[in-house]
Amino acid sequence: MKRVLFGLTILLALYACGSQETANPSSNATDAAKPAENTGGYDPNRGEGKFKDVVVNPKLNATLAESGNKVYAVKCSSCHKTTEEKLVGPGWKGVTSRHSAAWILNFITNTDEMITKDPKAQAQLEICLVRMPNQNLSDDDAKSLYEFMRKVDGLQ
Amino acid sequence: MNLSAKKLLAAASVICLIGVPACKPKNAGNAVSADAALKAYVAPGKYDSYYNFVSGGFSGQMAVYGLPSGRLLRVIPAFSVDPEKGWGFSEETKPMLNTSHGFVPWDDLHHPELSQTNGEVDGRWIFGNANNTPRVARIDLATFRTAEIIELPNSAGNHSSPFITENTEYVVAGTRFSVPPDNVNGDVPISTYKQNFKGTLSFISVDKGDGKMDIAFQIQCPGVNFDLSHAGKGKSHGWFFFSCYNTEQANTLLEVNASQRDKDFIMAVNWKKAEEYLKAGKGRKQSVKYASNRYDEKTHTATSTIKTEVIVLDAKELKDICYMIPCPKSPHGCDVDPTGEYIVGSGKLAALIPVFSFDKLVKAIAAKDFIGDYDGIPVVKYESALYGEVKKPGLGPLHTEFDGKGNAYTSFFVSSEVVKWNIKDLKVLDRVPTYYSVGHLCIPGGDSKKPSPKYLIAYNKITKDRYLPTGPELAQSAQLYDISGEKMQLILDFPTIGEPHYAQAIEADIVKKNSVKFFKIDENKHPYVAKGEGATKVVREGNKVHVYMTSIRSHFSPDNIEGVKMGDEVYFHVTNLEQDWDVPHGFAVKGAVNAELLIMPGETQTLKWVPDRVGMFPIYCTDFCSALHQEMQGYVRVSPAGSATPLTFSLGATNTDKSAPKSK
């Protein structure tokens, strides 16, 4: 019971963080804190990050999906299954129909900010209680992972 | 710093009795003005503007503080084991502490020195010396970890080290104890000191690209004690200056017997000349044994190589490498001003500070203006090398730093003060008390061509009543002074680890931009890495069991292992799969006669465990990693030798095993 309460405390702390800008420690003289890039409306379909208008090919790029599988094995498989089963994080089955391509690409490359801002990500955090780590994926890693997710979802 | 402390303390107390005002300032209130707190205050969440690298003294480590706050940021393990970080305990780091004597778990680090380019601190590496078992460490300031340690043959008490030349061409190491060279029988009567004992200076080359160190050559010198040193710069680039004491060549009761002479020496070494002799083949190869230990950031593993040869140049035979400059009395600090013209000797028993002129020294050498020789080394006439003397500056001068604005700052151990004086006219400008018995000083870049003279830090030997008492052993201490104005102003006391000797400071902006946040898992070349949970496994090779394990918030894979048997050696190779900043995982196993592992993101580290009994052994993550950190655990089952338990491993298997042996 104690542990559950503890988890909740952390969660509350995270929520508290959410109301502020991203903490950006700076030295008194040199670093100016970055202004928040998007103070206006948050787009819950697109999420937030560098991916905006993602054009998706209706056909699967099998080579790309295969390199995504390799990234998955090293950086994702510890916590995500490719079935519907939740491990540490949710199973991936169906993920490409639950979220837009841009949302997924932004979430896996701009994880911290998305967890803080996105309602769906916050709801997921309440279930999983572990903040998804930022695994520092390159843009190419992210695109290949998305292709792998599409393959998992049965795209040919 | 090596002082006959008792004697100096005795001297200090005598001086107190006769009432020199600088000795025991009345109290802190008198010395601190009202705006001091504001000047040292760095608000929560804000960065300090300087890194301060402070020797950990007899802790063997190097500590990193922020200035002006005095906040402790990190203790970098160097020469002593550090169970908290697994340093010297993990299989990967054990070779770093290997020496020709075998694994040495402790040393005494006195002097940090930052690498320089064109005489300015460049923030790439910082070097440290091991005073007991002579070694030099190179710490990489991208990772704030010890990247390399090299041992020094023919040496004992590596004290006048690890000072560097203005482009980090060389790190030097002068031996504090003279000893018989390593290749001759050292089993000689102590009374034969004068015949058999030699002093050795090592010149360690530093690769410009990757920083790798090698002993380029050694210079064999008369048997004296080398204390401190500094390289020439600018016009005096190509020269090195070493303070020498015990020129009496005493081997007992040095407190008295090494303080007989009115003057000892600063030895000037023309290392460019030494390079020429080396090239001309004038060195002799000597067989020795020393360790060269390097840490590879790609394999995350150190290797220790024992090397067996060094080239020695004889200062007595090769006449124009070394020259002695007389210096009163038992000089400690040997400091060169930012222009390279002035060499300041601090005779710790002297009542004045001699300032030597490089131009005059060069002229005197050219004119052979010598008063004789010392064991074959020409002795330059004192007055011919002297620029002038600072008269009655204080008692027990030890060490001088510079502000680049024409001023020098000298510490006075006996009179517990810092004295600011002008180099040109040798006049004292200001003095402030220290609490108490200051050793070294530090100004950021204060021994380079371009100091950043905002602060001065004094490192004290005695704290007495400055902090809450903590039993017989008290906090070590440093004091921060604002030197941006004409008068020095004490603004902060801060406790330090070990015993702080020398220190270096550098503007934070030069270093912080290079700081590594995590190791890229794609680049991990560790032979036992598991890149992803699919690659985890447990492999038996005879009685060795290799566990290829991963950690991520918040579980290990595998977390259940069975089939380990008594007599096995188990190696847990733990790869941290995280790829973000500030997510280390720890690893510990019950009963291991060992420390923990602390594994940075993307890194692999190995803990060796030899089970001592049959049973179930919990493993867990020691570094709080997430809300479910307390769930990050597992079990290893140990069965009797020769039992039939198969080697199995799993993660997330929930079936119950009915064949498990009943507990007795």
CA–CA distances in Å: residue B593 to residues B77, B94, B608: 20, 15, 9
Q: Give the residue carrying structure tokens 């000893």.
A: B179
Helix, strand, or coil (residue B28)? helix
Final residue of a structural domain among B317, B332, B360? B317
Nearest CA in chain A to B577: A75
| Cβ neighbours, 10 Å, residue B503 | 28
Q: SS3 for A99?
A: coil
Nearest to B649 by CA among B568, B550, B582: B550
Calculate mean pLDDT across residues B582-595: 97
Is B550 part of the contact surface with chain A (CB cutoff 8 Å)?
A: yes
- Which residues in B533-581 belong to E strands, given as ranges? 537-541, 544-552, 555-557, 560-565, 569-576
- pLDDT confidence bin for B262, thresholds 50/70/90: confident
- Please tell me the number of Cα atoms within 13 Å of B273 on its side-chain side: 15
pLDDT at residue number B31:
62
> Hey, are the CB atoms on A25 and B652 less than 8 Å from each other?
no
- The answer, yes or no, to whether residue A28 has pLDDT greater than 90, is no
Structural tokens at position B314 = 């004889």
pLDDT band, residue B24 (cuts 50/70/90): very low
Confidence check: pLDDT of B11 > 60: no
- Longest CA–CA separation in chain A, Å: 56
Average pLDDT over residues B650-661: 65
Q: What SS3 state is found at B284?
A: strand
- For B199, B251, B527, the CA distances from B178, given in Å and listed in that order, are 5, 10, 43
Domain-embedded: residue A80: yes
Please report which residue ranges of B34-174 form alpha helices under DSSP H: 36-40
Contacts of B17 (CB under 8 A, 6+ apart): none
Q: How close B522 comes to chain A (CA, Å)?
A: 9
The CA distances from residue B85 to B553, B585, B607, B628, in Å, are 19, 11, 12, 22
- Mean pLDDT across chain B, nearest whole number? 93
Say if the Cβ atoms of A28 and B626 lie within 8 Å.
Answer: no
Is the Cβ pair A10, B627 closer than 8 Å?
Answer: yes
Residue B521: which residues within 8 A CB-CB, separation 6 or more? A74, A75, B531, B575, B577, B579, B601, B602
- Does residue A21 belong to any structural domain of this protein? no
Q: Determine the residue type at A116.
A: T
Tokens 């151990």 locate to: B413
* pLDDT tens string B116-144: 999 999 999 999 999 999 999 999 999 99
Tokens found for residue B377: 């080394």
Q: Which of A15-19, B254-258, B512-516 has the lowest mean pLDDT?
A: A15-19
- Is B583 part of the contact surface with chain A (CB cutoff 8 Å)? yes
The predicted pLDDT at position B132 comes to 98
Residue B10's φ and ψ, nearest 5 degrees, are: -60, -45
What's the CA gap between B464 and B19, in Å, rounded?
A: 19
| Amino acid, single-letter form, for residue B606 | T
* Range B621-635 average pLDDT: 94
3-class DSSP state of B291 = strand
The answer to whether residue B266 sits within a structural domain is: no
CA distance B160 to B158: 6
Q: Is B498 left (phi over 0), alpha (psi -120 to 50) or beta?
A: left
Count: domains in chain A: 1
More confident residue, B553 or B301: B301
Q: How far apart are CA B249 and CA B264, in angstroms?
A: 11
pLDDT over 70 at B13, yes or no: no
* Phi, psi angles (nearest 5°) of residue B38: -60, -40
Chain B partners of A26 at a C-beta cutoff of 8 Å?
Answer: 46-47
Domain annotation covers residue A20: no
CA nearest neighbour of B284 among B217, B376, B222, B200: B217
Q: In this structure, which amino acid lies at residue B236?
A: S
Quickly state the pLDDT bin for A17 (edges 50, 70, 90).
Answer: very low
Q: Nearest Cβ partner of A25 from B45, B532, B628?
A: B45
Q: What is the mean pLDDT of residues B439-465?
A: 96
The predicted pLDDT at position B350 comes to 86
pLDDT band at B254 (very low <50, low <70, confident <90, very high): confident
pLDDT grade, residue B23 (50/70/90)?
very low
User: What CA–CA distance (Å, rounded) separates B155 from A61?
Assistant: 65
Q: How confident is the model at residue B2 (pLDDT cuts 50, 70, 90)?
A: very low
Closest by Cβ to A27, choosing from B508, B518, B626: B508
Domain boundary (B262, B294, B317) is at B317
The separation between the first and the last C-alpha atoms of chain B, rounded to the nearest angstrom, is: 61
B10-26 burial, b at 16+ Cβ within 10 Å, e below that, comes to ebbeebeeeebebbbbe
Contact B636, B615 (CB under 8 A): no
Task: Determine the distance in angstroms separating the CA of B543 from the nearest CA of chain A, rounded to an integer.
Answer: 29
**Residue B85, in any domain of the structure:** yes
- Name the residue in chain A with its Cα closest to that of B532: A74
Residue B656, pLDDT score: 54
Please indicate, yes or no, if residue A57 is contained in any of the structural domains. Answer: yes
Query: What does the pLDDT average to over B227-254?
Result: 94
Q: Which of B628, B631, B651, B654 to mutate to test the interface with A (most CBs of A within 10 A)?
A: B628
Compute the half-sphere exposure of residue B201: CA atoms within 13 Å on the CB side of its CA.
Answer: 32
Q: What does the block give as tokens for B524?
A: 């991990």
Q: For residue B174, what is the domain's CATH number?
A: 2.130.10.10
Q: What is the pLDDT of residue B34?
A: 73
Nearest to B200 by CA among B279, B294, B267, B104: B267
A73 located within any domain: yes
Coil, strand or helix at A125: helix
Over the stretch B524-569, which tens digit does the pLDDT of each residue have? 999 999 999 999 999 999 999 999 999 999 899 999 999 999 999 9
Closest residue, chain A, to B533 (C-alpha): A78
Q: Are B104 and B85 in contact (CB under 8 A)?
A: no
Asked whether residue A75 is domain-assigned, the answer is yes
Mind listing the pLDDT tens digit for each residue in A139-155? 999 999 999 999 999 99
CA-based nearest residue to B466, from B457, B456, B476: B476
Q: What pLDDT shows up at residue B344?
A: 98
Would you say residue B246 has pLDDT above 60?
Answer: yes
Of B484, B481, B338, the closest CA to residue B402 belongs to: B338
Domain boundary among B263, B296, B317: B317
B621 residue type, one letter = C
Total count of residues recorded for chain B = 664
Give the nearest chain A residue to B578 (CA atoms). A135
Contact B625, B632 (CB under 8 A): yes
A15: contact with B, CB 8 A cutoff: no
B220 to chain A, any CB pair closer than 8 A? The answer is no
| pLDDT tops 80 at residue B147 | yes
Whether A20 has a pLDDT exceeding 70, the answer reads no
Within a 10 A sphere around the Cβ of A73, how many other Cβ atoms? 15
Q: B593: domain CATH number?
A: 2.60.40.420
Cα Dmax for chain B:
95
Report the pLDDT averaged over residues A8-12: 38
**CA-to-CA distance for A146 and A97, rounded, in angstroms?**
12
CB–CB of B387/B261 below 8 Å?
Answer: no
Q: Which residues pair with B433 in a beta bridge?
A: B417
Task: Give the Cα separation of B350 and B485 in Å (integer).
Answer: 29
- A-B C-beta contacts closer than 8 Å: 84
Cα–Cα distances in Å, from B30 out to A46, B27, B34, B206? Answer: 63, 6, 11, 47
- Selecting from B46, B627, B631 the residue whose C-beta is nearest the C-beta of A25 gives B46
Q: Taking residues B351-355, what's their average pLDDT?
A: 94
**Cα distances (Å, whole numbers) of residue A52 to A122, A139, B509:** 21, 13, 34
Q: Using the beta-carbon criterion (under 8 Å), do A136 and B580 form an inter-chain contact?
A: yes
Nearest to A113 by CA among A14, A30, A10, A25: A14
Alpha-helical (H) ranges within B19-129 are 28-31, 36-40
Q: Which residue segment(s) compose the domain that A134 sits in?
A: 44-152
Q: CB-based contacts of B123: which residues, under 8 Å, 6+ apart?
A: B114, B115, B141, B506, B510, B511, B514
Between B261 and B100, name the one with better pLDDT: B100
Please name the member of B49, B521, B550 whose beta carbon is closest to the beta carbon of A27.
B49
Instruction: Enumerate the H helices of B247-387 as residue ranges.
Output: 254-257, 271-279, 358-366, 382-385
| Interface probe, candidates A74, A135, A141, chain B, greatest B C-beta count within 10 A | A74
Please indicate, yes or no, if residue B560 is contained in any of the structural domains: yes
**pLDDT at residue A27 greater than cutoff 70:** no
Q: List, for residues B394-416, the tens digit of each pLDDT value.
A: 999 999 999 999 999 999 999 99
CATH number at residue A54: 1.10.760.10
Residues sharing a CB contact under 8 Å with residue B96, sequence separation 6 or more, in sequence order: B87, B88, B146, B149, B293, B295, B302, B304
Q: Which domain holds residue B293?
A: 80-223+283-317
CA–CA separation, B98 and B88 (whole Å):
9
Is A62 part of any domain? yes
At residue B629 the predicted structure's pLDDT band, cuts being 50, 70 and 90, is: very high
pLDDT in tens, B50-82: 999 999 999 999 999 999 999 999 999 999 999
Flag whether pLDDT at B456 surpasses 90: yes
What pLDDT does residue B46 have? 97
Listed residue (A2, A99, A111, A85) closest to B553, CA to CA:
A111
Domain membership flag for residue A58: yes
Assess if residue B236 is contained within a domain.
Answer: no
**Taking a C-beta distance cutoff of 8 angstroms, is the pair B449, B120 a contact?**
yes
pLDDT band at B21 (very low <50, low <70, confident <90, very high): very low
